[in-house]
Structure 1
Amino acid sequence: MSGIQATKTTEVLTFDLRGETFALEAGLVREVLDVTPETAVPGAAPFVGAVINFRGRVIPLADLRLAFGLGRAETTIDSRIVVIEHDLGGEPTLIGLRADKVHEVTTLNRVDSEPPPSVGMRWRPDFICCLVKRNGEFIVVPDLEQIFTTRGGATGASGPFNLS
């Protein structure tokens, strides 16, 4: 997320994935939805293996847990879908992201961020923009561009989402 590194502070939406706290730049977030019916897409990469109806539009549903090797999780009363608008290949694209729980919109400070360590991480460091320390705990800021380029196109499609 270049916003945290480019300015002194950035507003983010914080959410949980399997007990870890993640953050997305608030400007990317279009809406937070209760879990909605989804349609599996045969042959799609598991990371983007379904689509949902969002205000009459079909959008891909991505699972960042799979990108980070956290495995699938059961849907609970706290589960949500965070709809973001992310630039993919020069096109603004709506994407649903699964979240185990959505917390709040808050401000993160650049001085509290640091790059992921090159050793000792259980996740791919190139999938993380930075870690931000807040209240004694780390918040993971994912690199959506790297994740969607690497994980979304795993089936050999020309674009990040092979949904056709």
Structure 2
Amino acid sequence: MAEQTQYVTLGVAEEIFAAPVATVQEILDMLPIARLPRAPENLLGMIDVRGKGVPVLDLRLTLGMDPADDTENTRIVVLAVNGPDGAVTVGLRTDKVFEVTVLDTETLDPAPTVSAGWSGHCIAGIGRRNGRFVTVLDLDGLLGDIVRQPILAA
């Protein structure tokens, strides 16, 4: 039997998103974030992770949602994504991290095609966990354009 893909499930607003465990390097409590001048709104700044500067993006703003204040559940998920010159380490500020889990079925439903003006390029697929929809993020699609910007391609 093939091993099922494991995901880290993330809470953003009332929605559940997931990132493949293989992309997650670590999960951190909120840290002081050094702001960057003239950065895009969703780029919160930089944090220090073991002596390395890591850019932090607000997942809410990256997904087009309203901003929210930090809570005791707010986390930074440090990920490795594919940039134009190889792997790039980036942090995602998320409202909460639920668990590492497998989804109810191994096969994901494709992103819906409902409008010519909307693209599901950042969605790897839709799964289910305990009766709720879980949107599995295509991190390269979601973050690929962002990590190509000169500020993150250092």
* TM class, shorter-length: 0.7 to 0.9
Q: Is the 8 A contact 2:33 2:44 kept in 1?
A: no
Task: Indicate which of 123, 136, 142 corresponds to 1:141.
Answer: 136
Task: Indicate which of 69, 82, 87 corresponds to 1:92.
Answer: 87
Which residue in the other structure is 1:156 paired with? none
Which residue in the other structure is 1:132 paired with? 127
Q: Which runs of 5+ in 1 are unaligned?
A: 1-6, 154-158
Q: State how 1:74-89 maps to structure 2 within 5 Å.
A: 74-89=69-84
Shift of residue 106, structure 1, vs aligned partner: 0.5
Secondary structure of 2:102's counterpart equals strand
More helix by share: 1
Superposition RMSD in Å: 2.0
Secondary structure of 1:66's counterpart equals helix
- Kindly, what percent of the aligned residue pairs are identical? 34
Secondary structure of 1:27's counterpart equals helix
Shift of residue 12, structure 1, vs aligned partner: 0.7
Query: What are the superposed Cα offsets for residues 135-163 of structure 1, whole Å, 9 maximum, x if unpaired?
Result: 2211011121122233x26xxxxx23525
- TM score, norm. by length of structure 1: 0.82
Q: Is the 8 A contact 1:60 1:96 kept in 2?
A: yes
Which residue in the other structure is 1:18 paired with? 13
Shift of residue 78, structure 1, vs aligned partner: 0.5
Q: Which runs of 5+ in 2 are unaligned?
A: none
Q: Is the 8 A contact 2:82 2:144 kept in 1?
A: no
Query: What are the superposed Cα offsets for residues 107-162 of structure 1, whole Å, 9 maximum, x if unpaired?
Result: 12333x20121127xx7422211110222211011121122233x26xxxxx2352
Deviating above 4 A after TM superposition, structure 1's stretches of 4 or more consecutive aligned residues are none
Which residue in the other structure is 1:4 paired with? none
- TM score, norm. by length of structure 2: 0.86
Structure 1 Cα separation of the partners of residues 132 and 90 of structure 2: 28
Q: Is the 8 A contact 2:8 2:21 kept in 1?
A: yes
**Gap change, CA 1:30 and 1:51, over 3 Å in 2:** same
1:73 aligns with 2:68: yes
1:36 aligns with 2:31: yes
- What is the aligned residue count? 149
